[in-house]
Amino acid sequence: MNKSNCPCGKPESYKECCETIHRNIANAQTAETLMRSRYTAFTKALGDYLMKSHHSKTRPIFEKEEIVKWTKSVKWNRLEILNTSGGLEMDSSGTVEFKAYYYENRFGKTKLKCIHENSYFEKENGLWMYVGIFDET
């Protein structure tokens, strides 16, 4: 990834890409753009935004400090979008399957790790929100 690219992997700068959503969540027109903005929020340890973009029915408000602490303890590498289903501007729900790569230093060794998730998103009050891991059962 080019250093001038947004951390979400888009070729635009952070200011032109995810920062516009961090400043106004209504700018996330699809579930994927919200997901990308959340990844970038993890890379920048933006705890308030991570809570704001999390659906009210599943928001882990009491875990905010721990989440921020963890995001600062790792070095984010890249985001890879694998698949999307629904989640377009006129939809009310959708999923985004992704892999988020990061380096974690444990016991003096740095290892590349990966979060592989199929995330579920719903609109709440007309805005895209992260609900949780998609479970087909």
Q: Give the lowest-confidence range in 37-41, 50-54, 70-74, 107-111.
A: 107-111
Query: pLDDT digits over 56-104, tens only?
Result: 999 999 999 999 999 999 999 999 999 999 999 999 999 999 999 999 9
In angstroms, the CA 8 to CA 37 distance is: 7
Selection from 92, 106, 91, 100 nearest residue 118 by Cα: 100
**b/e string for 28-46 if b means 16 or more Cβ within 10 A?**
bebbbbbbbbbbbbbbbbb
Domains annotated for the chain, with CATH where assigned, are: 18-133 (3.10.450.50)
In angstroms, the CA 113 to CA 103 distance is: 6
- What's the predicted TM-score (pTM) here? 0.93
* pLDDT at residue 56, as a whole number: 96
For residue 81, give the 3-state DSSP assignment.
Answer: strand
